Amino acid sequence: MVTEVVTEVVSAGADSAGLFRLDGRTAVVTGACGKLGPVWIGALLDAGARVAGLDLAGVRPPPPLEDLLARHGKRLALLPADVTDRRSLEAARDSVESRFGPAGILVNNAGIDQPPGPARTYRLEEVPEESCRRVLEVNVLGLFLSTQAFLPSLQRAGRASVVNIGSLYGAVSPDARLYSHIPADPPFLKPPMYGASKAAVSSLTRYLAAHLAPEGVRVNTLCPGGVLGAQDEEFQRKFRDRVPLGRMATLGDLVGPLLFLASDASSYVTGHDLMVDGGFTAW
């Protein structure tokens, strides 16, 4: 028995690099034109997948996505879809299958957030009801509808993986001290429904993982934390001081975790929240 186990481990190690390859597979990324959409799409393309990016009709692709479209036109398509509209998602699914075949990877990336800055701010008791409703509608219901719409495709593809994009704020509350220097009256307030929606994503991940495991569909959450962008230097300094690794995440830090969850490298992983936060939630 021990010899058989050792032989299996050695054999798996011999092709360990291939575990992360996605050659011949089709992936779908919602929220393709957002900040992280091009990151996920580029990673999937580099691993060999065919990729369909979904976003609202009329939304212009950001420069990184335009570059990917120019370089990978035969393996990349940008299609219109609204994650809160089941019919548009089903139409997108049919287009994906006609172009690339059944989708075996779904990255539920579409979501609403508000980066720190002196935009219009509210006191807690003044937060508009409609903005709360919209965040939950897109971040939670939209994720569920996308999974529903693409489930038949995932089932046909086999060895399927759904990667839900969560956040460290699904596990901990935003620290208001990180934003206290921002010149805003009232002070900048991270939208209360953002963290609530991401906590719901983690719960929904476990629900879907348990129900879809018999269908051969794995479901996990990738939870980024503190991704470096256009934040002001004081915010960056405060955030670095709060992170055990002493820095914010780069876009490149997210590639490996995404490929791990999307590929056969995580073939025995489902219902898991993968925190990619530099240790932020460890203390």
Q: Which residues are catalytic?
A: 194
Burial of 52 (0-12, 13-18, 19+ CB in 10 A): buried
Dist CA 56 CA 40 (whole Å)? 17
Q: DSSP E strands: which ranges in 188-252?
A: 217-224
- Residue 106's SS3 state is strand
Q: At what angle do helices 192-212 and 142-157 cross, to 10 degrees?
A: 30
- Residue 140's SS3 state is helix
Where b means 16+ CB within 10 Å and e means fewer, 82-121 reads bbbeeebbbebbebbbeebebbbbbbbbbbbeeebeeeeb
Question: Which of 120, 117, 92, 118 is closest to 106 using CA atoms?
Answer: 92
Q: DSSP E strands: which ranges in 102-224?
A: 105-108, 160-165, 217-224
- Give me the amino acid identity at 175: D
In angstroms, what is the C-alpha Rg of the chain? 19
